[in-house]
Amino acid sequence: MDIRTACLGLLSYGEATGYDIKQRCERICSHFFAAGYGSIYPALAELAREGFVACREEPGAGGQPRKVYSITPAGREELLARLASAEPKHRVHSDFALLMFFADLLPPERVDAMIGRRLGDIRDQLERLLRLEAAGRGLPPGIAFTRGMGIAVLRATIDYLEANRAGFRSTLASRPKQEDHSFHHPDTGDPA
Amino acid sequence: MDIRTACLGLLSYGEATGYDIKQRCERICSHFFAAGYGSIYPALAELAREGFVACREEPGAGGQPRKVYSITPAGREELLARLASAEPKHRVHSDFALLMFFADLLPPERVDAMIGRRLGDIRDQLERLLRLEAAGRGLPPGIAFTRGMGIAVLRATIDYLEANRAGFRSTLASRPKQEDHSFHHPDTGDPA
DNA sequence: CCTTACATGTAAACCGTTACATGATTGG
DNA sequence: CCAATCATGTAACGGTTTACATGTAAGG
């Protein structure tokens, strides 16, 4: 699903500026979706060109004009169509995991430090999601569902990292460099 | 981290053809990294040009030549340098979650069906990771660590989905369409 | 006979991220 | 005075996906 659809969807929850959309994303769906201004503004401009959103100009804080976008009936229809034809893909791209994957090529302290930093990031994300309920009572069902899913995954990750950090570190320390642990011949897995 | 580095890393575990690399990826790190042939082959060609991998041609099954790549000492050095300077980013892009996020715009049966399909995918992935240990005894520490992390996250997701599927469905059914659940005025969260 | 697995590669299209460019206001 | 917040946008670059192009061998 592209960013245009996501913006349209976010706008189905109420009008917003490009800036607002980014903030909303970060607050409520940063655990499975991210977008930068460089994607959002052009997306909004195109949606406006296509008539799926309307734009109203307002003087914002400081006298500079701000563009408040709202979804149009045509936009709602389009959103429904796009959601109906979207495939529910799911992909994770984790350099953190990749680095852990090659951990025996790195100094154990660095690996441990990375785990520490990652734990910090995850805890921040988790707190953000927990705060979300405290503030917005009676969240829309979709938002509550994805929030719960995020919390479950984040907690599981924290638990795993905390439970295995020390053991991983000592395993790495006791086996300084990547010795020849076979991984090529039987190609790890199938009967072949 | 780009695909070139990832290929170099995979080759640090033993020589392989482009085809092998893709299979390995799918078997052991598909839960946090993916690459298609269209990325792998050019990556390998460039690494060879730079002298980080060596290429040996062999007659493969069927008489067609296959190119077996192996990492060179220069490649090992380069890999170390790249891993040392890599930032441990982590990003999830989930259209599945996005669709759940906008669930009240979709027919409840479709939402439920998507959850069912997703559960199937996750269970397949989980099984693949579980099989990995049964086959390759004594996995390298990094691989064992990321495998464990994947299993933990996958299990947590399955548990969440199973526990909340029915409730989500009935919530959606009892509230047919996106009524005006405010999400704009207090902007969900902070004191502003 | 047909499909799956093995095997390699190119080119174009599509998308998104990053960096750049600008500017006012508020609070420390 | 400096940093942060609010606010909008463009352009270049980098990266991946998809489609195209080709061919053998084994198994059902």
Instruction: Give the phi and the psi of residue A55 in degrees, each rounded to 5.
Output: -120, 130
Q: What confidence tens digit (pLDDT) does each residue in B136-186 have? A: 568 999 999 999 999 999 999 999 999 999 999 999 999 766 555 545 444
- Residues ≥6 apart with Cβ < 8 Å to A162: A119
Which residues in chain A touch residue B27, judged by CB atoms under 8 angstroms apart? 188-189
Q: Which chain C nucleotides are covered by protein, judged by CB under 7 A?
A: 6-12, 15-19, 23-26
Residue B94 distance to chain A (closest CA, Å): 4
Cβ contact, residue pair B15, A118, below 8 Å: no
Q: Average pLDDT of A12-22?
A: 96
Quote the pLDDT of residue A60: 74
Distance of CA A62 to the CA centre of its chain: 32
Q: What confidence tens digit (pLDDT) does each residue in B78-89 have? A: 999 999 999 999
Instruction: Give the phi and the psi of residue A105 in degrees, each rounded to 5.
Output: -100, -5
Cα–Cα separations (whole angstroms), residue A22 to A6, A150, B33: 11, 19, 26
Q: What confidence tens digit (pLDDT) does each residue in B82-114 have? A: 999 999 999 999 999 999 999 999 999 999 999
Q: Which one of A83, A157, A188 has the shortest CB-CB distance to B136?
A: A188
- Give the residue among B87, B109, B104, B113 at the shortest CA–CA distance from B179: B104
Protein residues with Cβ atoms closer than 7 angstroms to any atom of nucleic acid strand C: A 2-3, 34-39, 61-64, 192; B 17-20, 23, 37-38, 41-42, 44-45, 60-62, 64-68
Contacting B residues, span 35-64, partner chain A, CB-CB under 8 Å: none
Query: CB distance from B175 to chain A under 8 Å?
Result: yes
Euclidean distance between CA atoms A93 and A91, whole angstroms: 7
Euclidean distance between CA atoms B29 and B12, whole angstroms: 15
Least confident span in A59-63, B14-18, B120-124: A59-63
Euclidean distance between CA atoms B115 and B109, whole angstroms: 10
Partners of B170 in the beta sheet? none
- Give the residue among A73, A7, A74, A76 at the shortest CA–CA distance from A44: A7
Q: What is the pTM of this model?
A: 0.91
Half-sphere exposure of B80 (CA within 13 A, CB side): 12
Pairing of strands A53-59, B53-59: unpaired
- Give the residue among A1, A187, A116, A7 at the shortest CA–CA distance from B14: A187
Least confident span in A58-72, A101-115, B174-188: B174-188
Quote the pLDDT of residue B17: 95
Cβ contact, residue pair B184, A16, below 8 Å: yes
Is residue B41 over pLDDT 60? yes
Instruction: Give the phi and the psi of residue A173 in degrees, each rounded to 5.
Output: -65, -35
Instruction: Give the phi and the psi of residue A94 in degrees, each rounded to 5.
Output: -120, 110
Nearest residue to C16, CA vs C1'?
Answer: A39
Quote the pLDDT of residue B60: 72
